[in-house]
Structure 1
Amino acid sequence: MEKAFKLDFVNDKTGSLYVNCCGCSQTAPLHSFGPASKPHYLIHYVLSGKGHFRFHDKEYRLEAGYGFLIQPNELAFYQADAKDPWSYLWVGFAGSRAEEYLHSMGLSDRHPIFSCDKSEELYSIVRDMMEHNTFGIADDLRRNGLLGVFLSVIADSAGVVAREEEDKGNQYVKKAVSFIQSNYCNPIKVTDVADYVCINRSYLYTLFQNYLGMSPQQFLTTFRITKARELLDSTNYPIESIALSCGYSDALVFTKAFHAMKGMSPSKYRKESHKESTKEQLQEVEGLIARLLKP
């Protein structure tokens, strides 16, 4: 027998991330589920005891402090230990960005196991979800917000079991590129990028060279100058405004960077026709990013 407390919510929602179900359970010895599938993502986290999880012909022995991810519409099997059956909590969820978030956390069908030392915090979050169990908009928003917190706690303290070093490096570069794309218009430096992805500047340099064939500074400058060329071609903004719009607080520094890369000043560039080459340069940068972000 399984002593379980669970809630299932309406499953016809749309959005970036939302809760389908949640619960907690104290299982009996050898209590099992499956092989069966669910239509949404499902994260289980072991609070106490032991058990095993089988997925894609691989079996994982798990204990307190570990969790596992079940992919939508994928057969999975898990069973409590005969002598020390586990208790666990779970959250089922879906959404247009669910896969993206999980992939960024390092969780996938290849790496479904994680460790996390925040059991009390995770349990408190799930209890909060269950206490706000109406179908009204207030509780709906709260549960979905708590889902983000739940994943954040796992992402912050989790270690993904058997995750490859190459995968880690790729994730760091993706996050760094995403940060640059969103903040190139601000006066950020490479140290800010390294701090954002929580690695030192030297390691970030090595990763960019390995994955993109250029340094973080070269990528940041290339991205900024490409955006500046767009503005020079498509607007009548003063050079000073374009400099500020591309993260340069000093128009002279911007002009020197532009000249070093394009062989002419921004003003001279604007006088000539370069729209087609700008388009090609933009496509080149976008292609570089697209290759990086490809799963």
Structure 2
Amino acid sequence: MVAVDPGAIPEGFAGQRMLVVPRLAVERALRHPVTGKLLVTDAGCFPHAARHGRSRPRGAPEHVFLVCTDGAGWCRIDGVHTAVARGGAVMIPAGRAHAYGASDADPWTLWWFHFTGADAADLVGAANAAASGHVTHLRDPAPVASLISQVIDALDSGPTVAGFTRATGAAWHALAHVIATGRRNPGTSLSPLERAVEHLRATSPQRTTVPALASMVGLSASQISALFREHLGVSPLQFQVQLRMSRARELLDGTELPIAAVARETGYGDPMYFSRQFTRIHDMTPTAYRSRPPGA
């Protein structure tokens, strides 16, 4: 579901994701004891967002959180103009006049969400106090982009208590990361491949598409695929299968979960498909793997 802000430059960026929670569902979620403390109302990712911009002279009804993972842009809050480079994180309090936009020469890739709730203002205040302003710098923005991706996935599951709760958890983690690690000055960062691998490990067994993974680390899909093949010998999707199978082996060795439950825990909704994949990779079925002699 896409909502268009009255002050927006129309967008339609290749690979973009954008979710807006119906406002009736927001009202219900704010009455819940968990999501009432922190609730994401809108979230998205705009890759290489040429001509993207927003202007809200009266501010937004929710707090706004932006993270630039590639390219550059700018923001203006209460009349103060600040450049935003890769790693820049912007925290805009609700009701505060602001505008922001992508650089003409090097448009940013922007991950973002709007949030509200009983504890939201305290989190915004803590983040801005830690950064001594509305804009901070993350040495590595990929973990926060990964968490925002989890927010989007949770909201995409539908306006349910479970989906809202997952989104709240990921959003809280993202904001806490900014409060704890944000700095006023840029520093060294991990390589794009390291950031991509970190995201996949953090979100396994959930599947991340190659374009989404590339946008998190500021590369094209072909570039990130080439890096995986050059340094790891597999594609990003094959690497994700390896992570899933590693988790499956852990569960088969260390638990008595039924095979169907192991399949679900490793991201496979179809136990038969999971068994075929496991057998193809390990030359034995999950049941045979579990029954093998100790030390085999």
- Normalising by structure 1, we get a TM-score of 0.50
Structure 1 residue 160: deviation in Å?
4.7
For the 8 Å contact 2:48–2:71, the answer to whether it is kept is no
| Residue 99 of structure 2 corresponds to residue 58 of structure 1 | no
Q: Deviations over 1:70-120 (max 9, x none)?
A: 221222111211110111100211111211222223349971111112322
Q: How does 1:88-237 map to 2 (within 5 A)?
A: 88-107=110-129, 111-133=133-155, 134-160=158-184
Structure 1 gaps, min length 5: 162-295
SS in 2 for 1:135: coil
SS in 2 for 1:106: helix
SS in 2 for 1:93: strand
Residue in 1 aligned with 2:209? none
C-alpha distance 110-104 of structure 1, shift in aligned 2 (>3 A): closer
Structure 2 gaps, min length 5: 1-10, 186-296
Residue in 1 aligned with 2:98? 76
For residues 108 and 156 of structure 1, the distance between their equivalents in structure 2, rounded to whole angstroms, comes to 8
For the 8 Å contact 1:32–1:77, the answer to whether it is kept is yes
Rg comparison, structure with higher value: 1
| Residue 53 of structure 2 corresponds to residue 29 of structure 1 | no
Name the one with the larger helix percent: 1
Structure 1 residue 52: deviation in Å?
1.1
1:6 corresponds to which of 18, 39, 51? 18
For residues 17 and 8 of structure 1, the distance between their equivalents in structure 2, rounded to whole angstroms, comes to 16
For residues 64 and 112 of structure 1, the distance between their equivalents in structure 2, rounded to whole angstroms, comes to 16
SS in 1 for 2:60: coil
Q: Deviations over 1:217-251 (max 9, x none)?
A: xxxxxxxxxxxxxxxxxxxxxxxxxxxxxxxxxxx
- Normalising by structure 2, we get a TM-score of 0.50
For residues 116 and 150 of structure 2, the distance between their equivalents in structure 1, rounded to whole angstroms, comes to 19
For residues 71 and 118 of structure 1, the distance between their equivalents in structure 2, rounded to whole angstroms, comes to 23
Amino acid at match of 1:155: I
Aligned length: 161
SS in 1 for 2:26: coil
SS in 2 for 1:54: strand
C-alpha distance 145-28 of structure 1, shift in aligned 2 (>3 A): closer
Residue in 2 aligned with 1:20? 41
For the 8 Å contact 1:20–1:94, the answer to whether it is kept is yes
For residues 76 and 131 of structure 1, the distance between their equivalents in structure 2, rounded to whole angstroms, comes to 28
Residue in 2 aligned with 1:238? none
Q: How does 1:274-293 map to 2 (within 5 A)?
A: none
C-alpha distance 139-97 of structure 1, shift in aligned 2 (>3 A): same
SS in 2 for 1:69: strand
Q: How does 1:39-54 map to 2 (within 5 A)?
A: 39-54=61-76
C-alpha distance 61-153 of structure 1, shift in aligned 2 (>3 A): same
C-alpha distance 42-109 of structure 1, shift in aligned 2 (>3 A): farther
Structure 1 residue 2: deviation in Å?
4.2
Amino acid at match of 1:135: P
Give RMSD over aligned pairs. 2.2
List structure 1 segments (4+ residues) > 6 angstroms apart after TM superposition. Answer: none
| Residue 109 of structure 2 corresponds to residue 87 of structure 1 | yes
C-alpha distance 135-124 of structure 1, shift in aligned 2 (>3 A): same
Structure 1 residue 137: deviation in Å?
1.5
For the 8 Å contact 1:16–1:98, the answer to whether it is kept is yes
Structure 1 residue 127: deviation in Å?
1.3
Amino acid at match of 1:11: V
For residues 129 and 55 of structure 2, the distance between their equivalents in structure 1, rounded to whole angstroms, comes to 21
For the 8 Å contact 1:132–1:142, the answer to whether it is kept is yes
For the 8 Å contact 1:102–1:108, the answer to whether it is kept is no
For residues 141 and 48 of structure 1, the distance between their equivalents in structure 2, rounded to whole angstroms, comes to 29
C-alpha distance 35-104 of structure 1, shift in aligned 2 (>3 A): closer
For the 8 Å contact 1:69–1:107, the answer to whether it is kept is no
For residues 72 and 125 of structure 1, the distance between their equivalents in structure 2, rounded to whole angstroms, comes to 22
C-alpha distance 109-77 of structure 1, shift in aligned 2 (>3 A): farther
